[in-house]
Each structure stands twice: as structure tokens, then as C-alpha cells.
Amino acid sequence: MFPSRNLLHNRRYLSQKITSCSFGSSLRPIAKFDHPVNRDSKCSTLELPERENYFGIKSHNIVKLPERLKEAVDKILGSCQDGNLINNSEKLNHHLIFKKPPLTHSQLKEIEVSCTERVSATHPFPDTSFMSVDDEKRLSNSLNNKIRRNIRQTAYKWKPVVYNQSMAMAYLVARLAPDFASLYKIFCEIRSRDPGFQPQNLFDFGSGVGTALWSAKSCWGMEKFKEVFCVDSSVEMNNLAITLIQGGVWPNQKGEPRAMGEDGTEGSSTIKGLYFRQFMPASPAVKYDLVVCAHTLLELPSAELRLQMALSLWRKSQGYLVFVEHGSRAAYEVIMEIRDFLLSLSDGGKEANLQGHVFSPCPNEARCPRLADTTPCNFEAKYESLVKKQQVLKERFSYVVLKKGPRSKSDPQWPRVVRPVLTRSGHTICRLCTNEGKLEEIVVTRSKNSKVENTIVRKTKWGDLLPVQLSRHETQPDHSPDDKENLKLS
Ligand SMILES: C[S@@+](CC[C@H](N)C(=O)[O-])C[C@H]1O[C@@H](n2cnc3c(N)ncnc32)[C@H](O)[C@@H]1O
């Protein structure tokens, strides 16, 4: 299960940062729209909505939970006696959104050095030649205490969330709907770009309340899955997931089938081929079409364990491997760490089964240009609040989908829209990440582009692929001043 030293020391994923990463506005590329409609000058009344998938434009609708899931949630919440549930869920949500990975030894060392320097600069050690030994000791202790306090205040204190029954319920309330929405969007892109892919089995690591299972089911249809294997170290999470599947009826009320016991041995549910376990299976022999690790990377106690887990999951995959986290800078960096680590194994030819490429969001395998920036690469999904019905909220998420095998030669590698599209009266600005791993912006104008091209960019949203091929051509920026302001904010 654990990677060899060689694999873990393949440090391409820690390679040098690139120097420039802002959207290249001085030498904007030329965008040639990649669609046959574009060549048909008579086609001016394009029915875009019907052709959305063709254009790389995805659904921008509000993602709703399936009715059966909503009913099960209502039943569970209706019978919940915990008066602090909403309060706990808000606190947990806040904790998870701002969560960072644990500090590495070298980060901790850096903090120790800088705190020591800071305290020493503000409290210079006096001449001790006239002091007694005891006084000198007292002074030194006081200084060390100050340094220790400073380190405690500066260093991020990572701790895992213990998912007991009350935390599992809080998680359900806080995170089911947004986690479902982001996963559903990711899965829908796989379905629309790879219509021949019909997953027969799913492996979910850190499965929680079973969100990935419900999203995959909504996307591809549950009857198509022959096996779903969920791993979660929390017995309470597993029991809650099983309860949701059973329509909100707790396993012990139903009598049979029984949910997971404290020893983690029993992990059945009413659905044939659905398994819940507390630990990863020891053997990587059984492979899965779809492997998911959602919102769990930051729960692992070290970078080494994250990479080991990512490698185990990559070995388990025979189709797509999905990692998704909240859209914070810290979570995005962890996603990139995993992406670059797995890609570094992919091109080394060490193990044939480790070959793969990035399916989404990046149209490339290059180092992410955002790593040299301060903003994360993230996307947005709209969802209905579970607590305040009808209220529409937005979830920011960072993700990567890796696919086994080489990239298909027919993949046009269209650039990804990585920030909101700016629509103005005469022109539209799209900020893109290209197949060369560069951040670029293009401007589509009413005067220079066709009606169809203008329609496409206006329908395009943050997170979509833009069906264009870019080529470099010297032009002058033609933004109005307020556009420049907007671009600075990106
Ligand atoms: C934040 S929840 C994510 C739940 C789910 N994937 C979702 O997106 O809704 C993280 C889950 O990972 C589980 N977890 C943490 N460390 C784990 C480990 N080492 N092995 C298996 N599960 C783990 C926790 O019990 C928790 O249920």
C-alpha cells in the first residue's frame, strides 16, 4: 500500500515555481473558435442551450439534492433531539472552510527560527556578567517562555475532526448540499465529455455521509453501479450514510440489515454490492472505474500520509480519480501537491498502471500558474440550503480529476475559464488557463468577432471550457479603464 522510497522521493511535484502568472494582457493571444458552426456564415440564430455540451459550456443550474435524499434528511432531522445542531453545524462549517493541512517539520522549524529572532530583537539579552547564576537562569527561562508563546500563537494548530454522532449530524447539515453540488458538477463534466464512460463501480475514501455515492447515482444512475465501496474511519459517519440510504430509518430501528458495529466488521446496507469499511483494503488488486476522495485530504495528519493515500487511490483506479476540497488557498495547494505528485509518477515509467493525465480542470499537465500567485484556482457551484429552504448559496471548490492512460489525441484541450467572464456592452473578456499551462485573457468584440462567437462567450461561465484554439499574435490591450480594474482583482 505504501509507496516506495523512490516514488516518494520523486520530487518533480516540488519543482521550482514559475515566475510569472498574471493574465497576459499586453500580448493577448488570438482566439480561433473551434466549431463548425463558426464557419457557416449563414448560421446566425444558433440555439445554444441545446448544444451546450458541444461547446464545453456546462449546466449553470442550481444543483438540487435528489428527492429521496431530501426526504431521508428531513426524517433524520425531524427525529433529532440535539438542540445545538444548527450551532454545531455552523461552527464545523467555519472550521472546515478555514482548515489548513498540518505544518511540515521544515515549516515548523522556519516558524521557530523567525519567532526566536523576533523575540530576541525585542528583548535583547542583557549583560549577565554581574548576575547571579539563578538570575541568569530565570532570565533565560523567561525569554524561552516568550519564544514558545510566540510560536504557539504563530503556528497553525491542526487537529482532526472527531466524527462522533453529533459531529456527523453537524456535518450532514453543514456540508451535504455544498459537497453534493461540487461533486455533481465534476461528475457531470466527466459524463458530458466522456459519454462512453459508464462506471460500474465506485470507491470512495473518507466517504462521510455518502455524498459521492448520491452524486454519482444522480449523474449516472444507481442501477448501473455493481459495487460501491466506501471507506470511512468513523463508525458514526458510516451509520449515518447507511441511514440515509435506508430512507432515514436508523439501522437499529429496522432490525436488519445491521449497520457497522464498533469493531467495523459489519458494513452492509440494503443495497447489494454496497460496502462500508473503516480501513482501506490492504490489497490494491481490485480496481474501480471511479475513485473519489472528497474533502478528506486535509483530515490526514501529514503530507506523507496524503501522498501515500493518493498513490493507493491512484493504484485502485482504472478510470477516473477525483480529488475535491474547499476552494481556499490552502486546500487548492494540497490538491496541486497531489496532482503534481501523481503526474510525476505517471511520466517516470516506473509502473505502467500509474500512467495518466489531467482530465479537468487543467487542459494540461504543466505546473499550475496559480502556484506562483496568491489566489487559488477554484470554481463555483450553486446549491439550495438544507436549512433555509429555497435559499440559494454558492460553494467554492478546488479539484482535480485524473484519468488513467494517455490523453486522447482527439482531445482539443480547450482552455478553461478560470475567473468570471466579464461582459460589457461591446465586448466580453474571458480569463483562461491554456493547454500550455498559462493564464491568458481574450477579448471577443462585436466588431471583430461573429455573432455566434459573441453568443458563445456570453453563455460561457467560470469553470467552462471555451471552444477556442489560441495562437500568439501581437496586439495592444483594448480594455476600458474599468476592465483593467476588474482584471487586477482576479
Ligand atoms: C470532511 S469529511 C468528508 C466526507 C465526504 N467525503 C463528503 O465530501 O461529504 C472527511 C471524512 O474523512 C474521514 N476520515 C478522516 N481520516 C480518515 C482515514 N484515515 N481513513 C478513512 N476515513 C477518514 C472522516 O471520518 C470524515 O468522515
pLDDT by residue for the chain (490 residues), tens digit each?
334 444 444 434 333 333 334 665 567 888 888 865 444 333 333 344 444 445 666 677 899 999 999 999 999 999 888 889 999 999 999 999 999 999 988 888 989 888 888 888 887 777 777 788 888 888 888 888 898 898 888 888 899 999 999 999 999 999 999 999 999 999 999 999 999 999 999 999 999 999 999 999 999 987 789 999 999 999 999 999 999 999 998 866 543 334 444 444 444 455 679 999 999 998 889 999 999 999 999 999 999 999 999 999 999 999 999 999 999 999 999 999 999 999 999 876 667 789 999 999 999 999 999 999 899 999 999 999 998 888 999 999 999 999 999 999 989 999 999 999 999 999 999 999 999 999 999 999 999 999 989 999 999 999 999 999 998 755 544 444 444 444 443 3
- Of 328, 304, 291, nearest to 402 by C-alpha is 291
- Closest residue by Cα to atom 20, ligand 1, is 233
CATH entry 3.40.50.300 includes domain 67-97+166-404: no
Single-letter amino acid, residue 12? R
- What is the pLDDT, as a whole number, of residue 47? 41
Cα distance between residue 68 and residue 304, in whole Å: 39
Q: What distance in angstroms lies between residue 361's CA and the mean position of ligand 1's atoms?
A: 23
Ligand 1 centroid – CA 162 distance (Å): 10
Neighbouring C-beta atoms of residue 313, cutoff 10 Å: 25
Predicted local distance difference test score (pLDDT) of residue 82: 86
Pocket lining for ligand 1, CB < 6 angstroms: 163, 175, 179, 206-209, 211, 231-234, 237, 294-296, 299
Gap from CA of 86 to ligand 1 centroid (Å): 21
**d(CA 271, ligand 1 centre) in Å:** 21
Give the nearest ligand 1 atom to 204 CA: 6
Pocket test for ligand 1, best of 171, 207, 292, 296 (most atoms within 8 A of CB): 296
At 485 the pLDDT is: 40
Handedness of CA 353, 204, 214, 189 (dihedral sign): negative
Nearest CA to ligand 1 atom 14: 206
pTM given for the model: 0.85
29: which 3 cell numbers?
Answer: 493571444
Cβ-based neighbour number of residue 436 at 10 Å: 14
Nearest-10 crossing angle of helices 211-220, 235-245: 30
Domain ranges, ordered by start, for the chain: 19-56+414-489, 67-97+166-404, 105-154
Measured in degrees and rounded to the nearest 5, phi and psi for residue 243 equal -60, -40
Ligand 1 probe mutation, 175, 211, 233, most atoms within 8 A of CB: 233
Ligand 1 atom nearest the C-alpha of 211 is 9
Choose the residue to mutate in 228, 299, 306, 307 for probing ligand 1, maximizing ligand atoms within 8 Å of C-beta. Answer: 299
Bridge partners, 231 (sequence order): 205, 277
